[in-house]
Structure 1
């Protein structure tokens, strides 16, 4: 069963968002800083409060699509993104029903871990569909034992390799070295390139 729009909207309205750092994640900020092509087509799925979207927009990336199932974070983002950012690129939709692209880059942060684990094969397939050949799925995945308690739901490097290898070349999948202190040792930074 999916954690639906109503579930997530209530979590945001109640400020029950323990994953929210209030800023761009340091590993993702460092990754964004080394991206040189400002015209690439980027998707941020399950973007939540969208700190990465603001960071990208302020760095001059213009072809951004920000996707979330709940309206609350998207409304908040309208106030924080540069005035030049088109609100048409803030999309309220279920990721699995979303039709767009192809994208050059999908930036993953806390979306994958919020999905019930039985949806992970669908996530991998959908990412494959959304990216152009050679496009990249990059970001952070949690590295702690998978339990039925969540979100967030955990996982392991071995599970991720098995899940994504049919669609992607695993270019990087390693422990993040610049995570915030509460997440030290529990985040894997990754770059997967579509086959």
Structure 2
């Protein structure tokens, strides 16, 4: 049996996404065995992030400075703005290094079941950013869920009065995907979005 302190650490790690009780226990054992090097580094890194973490007032990204590194990057295309549901989506898109513009994090998606209304999201600040001018394209990069698509549709309607081109990420067949393994919704979207060869 582990001490109460180790059990508390294991329970804390088990609450992280992707880690269950067994994975958390293995991680704790690994850290305990390397407490002089890895555990100290982890504690220092967590303390540093805890003390310096801020939300970017421009886009909603999470960073250790405001404006965040993305907004402060002078090489970014100021005319393109990609709207995402959450910070994790921003990080995933930016990690791919395919979008060179700036981002706007909504902080969630519209959901009647969960009681998330437009005023609960960062939609007003998005409209203010677009209203300032200088943005030619708004890319709606919502998840391909009912709530994500509802959110995209709502934002597209709100942006109709602005002189911007509104685009949306394509949905359909994944690279390397086999047709017989795909769900009907993905197949239907792929068929609707077909294009000439």
Q: Place the TM-score, normalised by the shorter chain, in its bin.
A: 0.3 to 0.5
- The higher radius of gyration belongs to 2
Greater relative contact order (Cα 8 A, min sep 6): structure 1 or 2?
A: 1
TM-score by length of 1: 0.34
TM-score by length of 2: 0.34
- Whichever structure has more helix as a proportion of its residues is 2
- Whichever structure has more strand as a proportion of its residues is 1
